[in-house]
Amino acid sequence: MLPTPHQSPQAAVVPVQRASSREHAGPWHSEAVCRRDEAGLFFAPSKEPTAARLSREQAAKRVCARCPVLVECREHALLQPEPYGVWGGLTAAERRVVLARRRRRDADLGQSAQVSRIA
């Protein structure tokens, strides 16, 4: 159930997409701090105002910062790739930046390898 416009973001329910992808992700997810009480912090309710979104995302990142499986969660979100929510301390926009940097790095490494083989 998604929150109504008058509900706080903390009252939101985690979409089925996150729950189902976690079930298949591996054993790391059982240790995730977000599985406890703060699940509503990680996904935006519809038509969330910008200030509320930024505040919610910062609160979600604080939860992630104390999570023992932050790295595993982040890699899962980058490999899937998860298009929504805060995963591994990164928003969807931040994950897109990380993925773009990885693609550029991989392309640069591929070009460097070709140049060294030619020379």
In DSSP notation, 8-72 reads -GGGPPPPHHHHHHHHTT-GGGGG-GGGSS-GGGGSPPTT--HHHHHHHHHHHHHHHHT-TTHHH
Q: Which of 10, 103, 117 is nearest to 59 (CA)?
A: 10
Q: Is there a binding annotation on residue 111? A: no
Residue with tokens 């609160």: 59
Q: Is there a binding annotation on residue 67? A: yes
Tokens, residue 32 = 């995730």
Q: Is there a binding annotation on residue 34? A: yes
Helix axes 50-65, 70-79, angle to 10 degrees: 130
49, amino acid identity: P
Q: Which residues are annotated as a binding site?
A: 34, 64, 67, 73
Q: Which residues are annotated as a binding site for [4Fe-4S] cluster?
A: 34, 64, 67, 73
